[in-house]
C-alpha cells in the first residue's frame, strides 16, 4: 500500500502544480513588456521588394553594425543557442539592422554561414546610422550603440511592437537585451524567454480557436 501511495503522490503532484499555475489570472508563462510601441523598421531598405516589420512577428533583433567580420562569433553563438531552434515557427524572424555601408559585405557574410546554419532565413534591413539610432533609442534600454551602429546585445520584440524582457532578473534587475558574446546568457536566459513568448502566443491562439468553436 505504501508503494502505491508514493507512486500516486509522485504522479499527482506534477499535475496539481501544473493546474495551479495554469489557472492563475496572470499565467506564469508571460514575458514582461519593458517598452511599448518601439519604432518600426518597415521604411528601411531590404534586399528584396518586401519590407520588414516588427508587427505581427516575434522578432529577435540585432544591431550588429558595419564591421560584420568582427561579430561572426556573436552571430554563431546566437544562431546555435537560439535561432536554429525556432526558424520553423510561424511568425518568428531574426532581424539584422545594419548600416547601408555594410550592404556590400552582407552577401559574403551570409554565405560564410550557409554551411553551418540556415542563414537564408535571416531578414536584413538597411538604413542610415541616424535612422538606426532612432529605432534603437525607441527601445529605451540601458544599452548604447557605438560609432558603427553596433551593440552586442540582441532583443525580443513581440507582435505588437513591444520590447520584451525581464523585470526581475536575478543578475540585472531589468534585462532589456541578451549579450550575444555570452553563451551562458543566451543558453540559460534568452532561450528560456523565447520559449516563454512563443508559448504565450500559442496559448492565446488555442484560446481564440476554442472561443470561435463555441
pLDDT digits (tens, 9 = 90+) for 84-96: 999 999 899 999 9
- Residues 120, 52, 86, 194, CA torsion sign: positive
Give residue-wise pLDDT tens across range 153-192.
Answer: 999 999 999 999 999 999 999 999 999 999 999 999 999 9
CATH code (residue 131)? 3.40.30.10
Confidence grade of residue 3 (pLDDT, cut at 50, 70, 90) = low
Same domain flag for 55 and 134: yes
Same domain flag for 5 and 67: no
Same domain flag for 86 and 99: yes
Same domain flag for 4 and 82: no
The DSSP secondary-structure symbol of 189 reads I
Bridge partner list, 178? 154
Bridge partner list, 163? 35, 157
**Which residue reads 529605451 in cell numbers?**
140
Same domain flag for 46 and 112: yes
Same domain flag for 4 and 83: no
CA distance linking residue 168 with residue 72, whole number of Å:
31
Same domain flag for 133 and 41: yes
Same domain flag for 57 and 12: no
Q: Which domain holds residue 22?
A: 1-28
Same domain flag for 17 and 39: no
Domain count, the chain: 2
Per-residue pLDDT averaged across 32-52, rounded? 96
Amino acid at each position: 500500500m505504501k508503494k502505491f501511495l508514493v507512486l500516486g503522490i509522485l504522479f499527482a503532484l506534477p499535475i496539481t502544480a501544473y493546474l495551479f499555475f495554469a489557472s492563475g489570472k496572470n499565467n506564469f508563462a508571460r514575458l514582461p513588456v519593458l517598452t511599448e510601441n518601439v519604432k518600426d523598421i518597415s521604411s528601411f531598405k531590404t534586399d528584396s521588394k518586401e519590407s520588414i516589420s516588427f508587427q505581427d512577428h516575434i522578432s529577435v533583433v540585432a544591431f550588429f553594425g558595419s564591421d560584420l567580420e568582427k561579430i561572426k562569433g556573436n552571430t554563431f553563438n546566437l544562431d546555435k543557442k537560439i535561432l536554429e531552434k525556432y526558424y520553423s515557427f510561424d511568425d518568428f524572424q531574426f532581424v539584422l539592422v545594419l548600416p547601408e555601408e555594410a550592404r556590400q559585405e552582407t552577401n559574403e557574410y551570409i554565405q560564410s554561414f550557409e554551411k553551418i546554419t540556415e542563414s537564408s532565413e535571416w531578414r536584413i534591413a538597411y538604413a542610415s546610422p541616424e535612422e538606426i539610432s532612432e529605432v534603437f533609442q525607441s527601445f529605451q534600454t540601458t544599452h548604447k550603440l557605438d560609432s558603427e551602429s553596433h551593440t552586442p546585445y540582441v532583443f525580443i520584440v513581440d507582435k505588437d511592437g513591444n520590447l520584451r524582457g525581464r523585470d526581475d532578473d536575478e543578475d540585472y534587475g531589468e534585462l532589456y537585451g541578451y549579450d550575444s558574446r555570452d553563451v551562458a546568457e543566451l543558453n540559460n536566459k534568452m532561450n528560456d524567454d523565447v520559449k516563454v513568448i512563443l508559448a504565450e502566443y500559442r496559448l492565446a491562439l488555442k484560446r481564440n480557436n476554442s472561443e470561435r468553436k463555441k
